[in-house]
Structure 1
């Protein structure tokens, strides 16, 4: 059975586009893209892919609670089973997370629990580790602390630059995220 998902994004949307292109083989249907700003390039990708997008502009809301109410209202028009974060750079409240308990999934560019937060790639590179990676995990009330669904290691070579490492991480994300989502949807997690 195909599961209906909403993807949340704050940026370029390359992971969103990759998920859309692999959705049929992975067992999900992206019903809507939720963007947190009108400047989110992922919206243009959604238009090209004929996927509805809704901008819930964070700057238009007085506080986080009202912003999240706006998101819930936007989702109410769709039969959403899972929320998939793809570069969504907002921390969701415990109240919002509990409303979708065990149904919000995130992608993080490190081997959690190492290098949590928004600069996982750069932090790993600057620390000098020889192995980093990509993690797909459930979202809980902490920052990058939810139950791990899947991980893949990425070796940092001597000649890697921050840019080349970012590229390696993104290529790994494009493989791991749809596989991990399929695992969740098939009940193998």
Structure 2
């Protein structure tokens, strides 16, 4: 990647792809974003995010876990197929599979994830449900760099969302998604512009 070239982004999705849509919109609307989505990959052939990619003319990769003898074989194939598109960074936008250090090593400090809680609280796949069951008054969204532990890597940004008395899992998650749709593209932009400095667990954002 030359200094003037946009950062090439691979986006991994497992669901409807609303975070992908928010990212594509941010890239399209901001000439200074500094990045472009070159491939969208999924572990599920029915993921709605794949159709969003097709509609935008972006290459797609589908690699179901069930098509492989084990997770290692699946991950190796997924990484190889993504690498064919020469991405400089990877964005996990609702991707529901855990990735190993072997996969992450291809993009050190350049794999970003969004998680629907204020980490380190409520890690894992049921963060919104867990927050409601715990009775917290605030939860929210976290965007972080990915390491080998689940929802554990250095935090780039967080934003709180109030838990209302009448919330259920669906209503609370919808409000968190609204925040995610702003926070994730903003953090990916910082990465694309080379403004993130990582020191241990701390991420510093360099000024423009």
TM-score computed with the length of structure 2 as normaliser: 0.86
Matched with 1:23 is: 27
The structure with the greater share of residues assigned to helix is 1
Q: Secondary structure at the match of 1:113?
A: coil
Q: 2 CA distance for matches of 1:162 and 1:73?
A: 36
**CA drift at 1:38:** 1.3
Residues 53-88 of structure 1, C-alpha deviations (whole Å, 9 max, x = no match): 111121111111111111122123212110000111
Pairs within 5 Å for 1:60-79: 60-79=67-86
Q: CA RMSD in A?
A: 1.3
Q: 1 CA distance for matches of 2:93 and 2:135?
A: 26
Verify: 1:96 aligned to 2:100, yes or no. no
- Greater shift, 162-171 or 135-144, is seen at 162-171
Pairs within 5 Å for 1:170-181: 170-181=177-188
Q: Aligned pairs, how many?
A: 189
Q: Which sections of structure 1, spanning at least 5 residues, go unmatched?
A: none
Q: 2 CA distance for matches of 1:136 and 1:179?
A: 10
**8 Å CA contact 2:110, 2:191 repeated in 1:** no
**CA drift at 1:42:** 1.2
Matched with 1:124 is: 131
Q: Which sections of structure 2, spanning at least 5 residues, go unmatched?
A: 197-208
Moved over 4 A (4+): none
